[in-house]
Amino acid sequence: MEVPLRARIKEPSISKVLVCVLCALFAGLTPLLSACGTSIDHGASDAEDENRYLSIVDAEPESVDPQCILENYTAPLNIFDRLVEVEQREGGSELTPSLAESWECSGDGCVYTFTLKNGVTFSNGAALTASDVKFSFERLLTNPLSCHADLMEDVLGADNLLNGDAAELEGFRIVDDNHFTIELSRPSAAFIWKLTTPAASILDEETTLHAGESFGHEVFETVGTGPFVLSKWSKGKSIVMRANSNYWAGLPACSGIKMLFHAETSSLRDLYTAGSIDILDLGLLDMDSEYFLRGDSYFGNLVRGKDVGITFVALNNSLAPLNDVRVRHALALGLDRSTLLTAAASGRGMIENGIFPYGLSGHNDELPQIPYDPAQAKNLLAEAGFAGGFDLVITCPTTTSQSVRDLVTLIAALWSNIGVRTHVENVNAATFNARREAGELACYVSTFTADYNDPQCFIEAFFEGPEVTDGCSICYQDTATMRDALNARTILDDKERIRTYQEIEQKIVQEDYAWIPLYSKARIFVVGSRVDGFEVRWNGWPSNRYDKVRILEAKA
Amino acid sequence: MIVKLHSIRTKVTFLTSAAILLSVALVGSIAIAIARHEADNRSAELMTLTCSSKCDEINRYLSYAEEGLRTVSRFAYDSLDSEVLLHSGVIGVNGSGRSLWGHEPTDAQQTALDSYFEDYLSQMQVMFNTVAESNPNVLTYYARINPELSRTSSGFWYSRQMRTGFESQPLTDLDGYAPDDMSHVGWYYLPLDRGMPSWLGPYYNINMDKTILSYVIPLYRFGTFIGIIGVDLDFEELTERIGAIKILESGYAFLTDSKGKIVYHPQLASGLFLAEVNSELEAAEFNKQSTGPIRYRYGGVAKKAVWGTLVNGLMLVVAAPVREINAGWNLMTLYIAVAAALILTLFTLLAASLMRRITGPLEQLAEASKQLAAGDYDLELAYGGNDEVGTLTQSFLQMSRELRTFISDLNSKAYRDDLTGVKNKAALTVFTRKLDDSIASSEETTEFAMVVFDCNSLKAINDNYGHERGDQYLQTACKFICKVYAHSPVFRTGGDEFAVILTGNDLINAAQLEAHFDARASQRNAVATHPWETVDVARGRANYDASIDANVASVMRRADMAMYADKRMKKRQSQTR
């Protein structure tokens, strides 16, 4: 009797008591606990992600369609790839494979055979095929907004497609998805170099056709194979590009790029020192650039490159009195180009004496210096019958930067020393362009930077024939030299071709004084300490490619 | 059993109390840890927020001066005439401002330059005055042209006067002091050496007899150092703002420069280095990855500090004693401890009460079972709860009642003679055992006598009149014995034998009772009509005699002998008659 009695009482009762007590206990303490509860902040927001993005500054492009813009190439350079790219090497730059794994040129220099890299996809997942390349190159000729039809001008049938006489580019033949050939109507050594320019970017045929005019404007319609994907475009403020996680060459070194548009009122120096900008082109600063270049504070943060571009004074060779070579020569001798370089770039650059600037394939170091010799200049003017000087108008578009205005002022001041009464005329940009194309401007100051690394780039822009030279108001008169210049592009032997171009350069500049070369500048960027791996593009554009740039730590 | 019941109670109470204690301790610790973490976070947030809002406020004060000067610098930069500079041979004359390389102007060029800078400065001064007037914090403003550019136009210095606004002051002679003489010419040479807009100070300016902050912008144009422009702010204005910062009860803020030198402290002298005062804080402050909070000890008091860097490179440190920061936490801990103690007490009492409710009835049951074992069936169990113990109690009561009835029945059957209703031989055995015990016990003297009776002629009556008449005969004899020995126990010890044990008065009156017995028997037999109605018994008595009787059996033997003697005597009498 005793054992069952204990058993019956003990077991249920103890467990009941415990359960009862513990329940009550926890019920009592729960409110206390919850009163001390912590709040958890969920949210790795977009803004936080963007802290890990590389922050840069560039002007807002009209579009990111690489075929339809002439400047502000940052977005196209990073969103799209080309068949081939240029890489800076010791003593020059060279072509490297990109979307094209390999290419060959036929012995006559007229047929290029390309093999595309396998497994490349656009950021929307579509595979890259030879058809996309054909579409991209034909669009250069057929899209009315395209401003780079000249890239294809040497391709067989380009004229017919441009004029609407053909539906396809005759010289472009697709072998299979990965192979195609391009036949040129005449040999062109520069053709392959032209394919490194942003305008030669390869577009996705399907999305680009579907997007129509939205291409290059709408984020989701703008698709490329590049290391970054356009993810946000806040008009007037910024473009954000995130890393293309499926990039065929491996994930880019930074997770994205935030490209702020340069507003004139904002102090870029302050934004940089506050850490809001990682990479800043000192060319965008005027007074403030001095503060980065002087002293030791930023010495370790400066990354220097060479602007493969020439600043020159264009003289209209067809207008009196500039149609007299002695006058043009006098004007060249009347400029203290060293002082001009100091004024414009605190001396950071090179005095140029020809057409092809320092850093360009074909640059001639041995061209004689054009001296600063105001006395000789006066003599020449007197010889030409302008002992009392003459009036000259320098035309500036109203968009001219302060530094170029300063330069023009100084040029005018220097010329006044030799008796040339210079007047600076300001016109709006459209008028300037129209008058320049009509060959009406007497004199202007400009800078031309290489798009691709070949002398042809400069010659074809200014001196390849009456149409070209009149279209830039230089109106060079020596048709024989211009014919030689046009023919030079077909010379198959590279050395001979370069030598020919150099002879033409010397003739135009140092005999005919068709333009006055001034200088080429260094391109200097100040780069934040958290950034690693930044290099200036071979031609010193303010626009760069950033797939190899690494962010060492997120911004606090 | 009671020991075990106590054990249950102890165990359960112990277990429950332990569980409560453990739970309260666990939950209390977690609550305290969370509370502490929260309090830590909130205090850090509060301090960081205070520090950053004060930094923002001071930065606004400083930035306002910066922006004003930047406006002047932009004007100064843009309005420089490049043509004049070109013609004066100034463009591209690189140099620090102390020696311009390649600058050898002709007299005409120098005169032109001097005259140009005179105009330039007067235009700039108008602009500068407008900007300085709009900022009440500006004490002075000034511009100095690189002395190597101009011989005559060296600059201007305007100082704010109480009533009259800004008034021109005589310029400091740069040649009169060494370039490293900070208090006299630091405002000129430091920004020049740095090559960029710079905040200077706080430093004591002898010329003004004040501690000031200066913001100075060097001007460069076409690669040439043109000069500097700058403004001075009253440092006292800043220290008043910082002195007004109060954190909790006794927290405060102080300023150090970028090298850790204290430039303002509400309690310490300026000029001390933080490293001398507190190396922990100094080390933390110059860890650029962090802005605190850090814990350190100063003057025996544990403190916490956060810090931020101002636009002029000074560092604002906000510090408060940990005791004050933790006041909220301590209160919270107290609340939690009190709540835990209350809960612990409440639940221990509750558990004890529950234990009592369970083990109280159990103890009663244990007591009752002991009573039952002792043969006491009159149990009193009050617990009537509607639970297992209640059911057990009711069942136990029911069981004890039934046991009592059963034992009672059993007793009546075992010790009673069915025919006569008097006690039987077994009852005599029990009775004699008690008497024997009494005899054996030396403590008390036992006195009793035993009378034995034997009914004569039973066999004859049975044979002649049947067993029923024989039974009647025995019953009559027994009733008679019982009537005479009404105060003594009567036992039927055999078929026709009875025994009576006399004690007390019956023992004292034994002889009278025997005489009375005989007289009454004679009267009855005289009127009896049948033999079975008569009382015909032989009788023998023996009184206990301690000297001869070792036990009751001995007494009984002697009584038997007396009875047989009586029987023989009565037989002889009847034969003689």
Q: Does A290 touch chain B (CB under 8 A)?
A: yes
Chain B residue numbers with beta carbons less than 8 Å from the beta carbon of A17 are: 12, 16, 351, 354-355, 358
Element (H, E) at B214: strand B210-221
Q: Does A342 touch chain B (CB under 8 A)?
A: yes
Residue A133 CB partners (closer than 8 Å, separation 6+): A83, A99, A114, A116, A172, A180, A202
Could you identify the residue written with the tokens 């330069």?
A: A407
Task: Give residue-wise pLDDT tens across range B252-307.
Answer: 888 888 888 888 988 888 888 877 777 777 776 666 666 767 888 887 888 888 88
Summarize the confidence of residues B96-123 as an average pLDDT: 80
pLDDT of residue B3 exceeding 60:
no
pLDDT per position in chain A (556 positions), as tens? 333 333 333 333 334 434 444 444 444 444 444 443 333 333 344 555 777 899 999 889 999 999 999 889 999 999 999 999 998 877 778 899 999 999 999 999 999 999 999 999 999 999 999 999 999 999 999 999 999 999 999 999 999 999 999 999 999 999 999 999 999 999 998 999 999 999 999 999 999 999 998 999 998 889 999 999 999 999 989 999 999 999 999 999 999 999 998 766 568 888 898 888 999 999 888 788 888 888 778 889 999 999 999 999 999 999 989 999 999 999 999 999 998 998 888 778 999 999 999 999 999 999 999 999 999 999 999 999 999 999 999 999 998 888 888 899 999 999 999 999 999 999 999 999 999 999 999 999 999 999 999 999 999 999 999 999 999 999 999 999 999 999 999 998 989 999 999 999 999 999 999 999 999 999 999 999 999 999 999 999 989 999 999 998 754 4
Chain A residue numbers with beta carbons less than 8 Å from the beta carbon of B77 are: 286-287
Degrees (nearest 5) of the Cα angle B570, B574, B576? 115
Element (H, E) at A130: helix A130-142
Candidate from A14, A25, A287 with C-beta closest to B347: A25
Q: How far apart are CA B82 and CA A410, in angstroms?
A: 7
Task: Give residue-wise pLDDT tens across range B541-551.
Answer: 999 988 888 88
Tell me which residue of A320, A280, A312 sits closest to A298, measured CA to CA.
A280
Which pLDDT value is given to residue B137?
Answer: 87
pLDDT of residue B450 exceeding 90:
yes
DSSP track, A505-535:
HHIIIIIS--EEEEEEEEEEEEE-TTEES--
Residue B523 CB partners (closer than 8 Å, separation 6+): none
Q: Does A26 touch chain B (CB under 8 A)?
A: yes
Closest B-chain CA to A31: B31
Do B92 and A295 make contact, defined as CB atoms within 8 angstroms? no
pLDDT of residue B173 exceeding 90:
no
Q: Does A301 touch chain B (CB under 8 A)?
A: no
Count of A-B CB contacts under 8 Å: 139
- A21: phi then psi, degrees, rounded to nearest 5: -65, -45
pLDDT of residue B360 exceeding 90:
no
Which pLDDT value is given to residue A104?
Answer: 94
Which pLDDT band holds residue B308 (cuts at 50, 70, 90)?
confident
Interfacial A residues in 321-340 facing B (CB < 8 Å) = 338-339
Q: How far apart are CA A209 and CA A221, in angstroms?
A: 10
Which pLDDT band holds residue B14 (cuts at 50, 70, 90)?
confident
Chain B residue numbers with beta carbons less than 8 Å from the beta carbon of A28 are: 339, 343, 346-347
B45 or B539, higher pLDDT: B539
Do A18 and B38 make contact, defined as CB atoms within 8 angstroms? no
Which pLDDT band holds residue B102 (cuts at 50, 70, 90)?
low
Interfacial A residues in 347-366 facing B (CB < 8 Å) = 347
Closest A-chain CA to B39: A36
The DSSP letter of residue A63 is -
Q: How far apart are CA B260 and CA B254, in angstroms?
A: 11
Q: Does A267 touch chain B (CB under 8 A)?
A: yes
Which pLDDT band holds residue B16 (cuts at 50, 70, 90)?
confident
Do A286 and B77 make contact, defined as CB atoms within 8 angstroms? yes
Summarize the confidence of residues B23-47 as an average pLDDT: 82
Q: What is the ipTM of this complex?
A: 0.78
pLDDT of residue B215 exceeding 60:
yes
Least Cα separation, residue B391 to chain A (angstroms): 11
Do B343 and A17 make contact, defined as CB atoms within 8 angstroms? no
Task: Give residue-wise pLDDT tens across range A104-143.
Answer: 999 999 999 999 999 999 999 999 999 999 999 999 999 9
Candidate from A10, A26, A290 with C-beta closest to B8: A10
DSSP 3-state of B521: helix
pLDDT of residue B422 exceeding 80:
yes
Q: Does A423 touch chain B (CB under 8 A)?
A: no
Task: Give residue-wise pLDDT tens across range B475-534.
Answer: 999 999 999 998 899 999 988 899 999 988 889 999 999 999 989 888 988 888 888 888
Candidate from B220, B346, B388 with C-beta closest to A290: B220
Chain A residue numbers with beta carbons less than 8 Å from the beta carbon of B197 are: 291
Sign of the Cα pseudo-torsion (A510, A514, A519, A520, in order) = negative
Q: How many CB atoms lie within 10 A of CB A101?
A: 14
B287 or B39, higher pLDDT: B39
Q: Report the mean per-residue pLDDT for chain B.
A: 85
Q: Does A271 touch chain B (CB under 8 A)?
A: no
